[in-house]
A = this chain, B = another copy of it.
Amino acid sequence: MELQAIGVQHPAVRQVQHIQNNTAPNRYRLFVAEGLWAHNMLLEHNAPIDTFFWCPEAIYADEAHRRAEEIAARAERSYRISLRTLEKISERDKPDGLLSLAALPQWAPEDLRLGRQALVLVADGVEIPGNLGTLIRSLDACAADALLMTNRKTRLTHPKVIRASQGTILTVPTLEFPEVAEAVAWLRRHRFTVFLADTDEAINYRKADFSGRTALVVGSERYGIGNAWYDHGFQRVAVPMLGSGDSLNVSVSASVLLYEARARKSGW
């Protein structure tokens, strides 16, 4: 395969660094995909590939050699880079010769087709990228309809969100609301029953009524759910805390709640 060779000073290489470090606007929601597994995922989900960087010296699997041609055929732009350049832009110890700037899908609220038993999670102010990615992985696993974000603190294009989501970020619809009030209005308009995950004045999550459309709200690792969510009389549900700690990891508590709702909706 013949591709134009470029070096570290090339604008495309600099763009990768800007995307990785979030030092430039990113209106097309570009993110960095690295390695064979991530590229298989891009191909499988037909994700738009903006720029492909190919470093043949760093490729160690036959499958990656074959895949490189498919990716180059799909990408808007493709370049060949040296091992030295690859090491500059890779976040891996042992990068494997395939690196792309790809675009996350963009969803609008009206894109969702909500059934009568729809299930969504609201992440309010979640700060740790690994937690947000793990949440998305769980949403995929339990076939939830969407992730809604309010008071967003971490960007979906963060490398750790992508990695923790294990590729499910390409399939789980994500919607961001600039204000809690807008998210509440949207949930009300679509007749969701909203539950706040909170251990204070809450009912045991096994006793909650998860029939109809259900929205579960979880909060930030340090501060919990923001005050604006408490002005609407929503019921609070708790996963009982029986030990010395006072909370669960946010992706764990969200997943326990999501699977409880899924199990009850499915009659498991």
Contact = CB atoms under 8 A, between A and B. Distances in A.
Nearest to A244: B171
B268 A206 contact: yes
Interface string A233-268: 000000111111101110110011001001100001
Given A141-B239, A243-B140, A244-B167, A204 B249 contact: no
A15 interface: no
Interface stretch (A67-75, A95-103, A130-138, A187-195): A130-138
A143 B242 contact: yes
A59 B193 CA distance: 46
Contacts of A255: 248, 252, 255-256
Interface of A: 45, 130, 134, 137-143, 164, 166-168, 171-172, 204, 206-207, 239-245, 247-249, 251-252, 255-256, 259, 262-263, 268
9 contacts: A138-B249, A141-B242, A141-B248, A143-B242, A164-B249, A167-B244, A168-B245, A249-B251, A255-B256
B252 A140 contact: no
Contacts of A239: 141, 259
B256 A168 contact: no
A42 to B, nearest CB: 13
Count chain B CB atoms within 10 A of each CB in A167, A206, A249 and give the residue with the most.
A249
A245 B45 CA distance: 12
B263 A206 contact: yes
Given A130-B130, A249-B137, A243 B206 contact: no
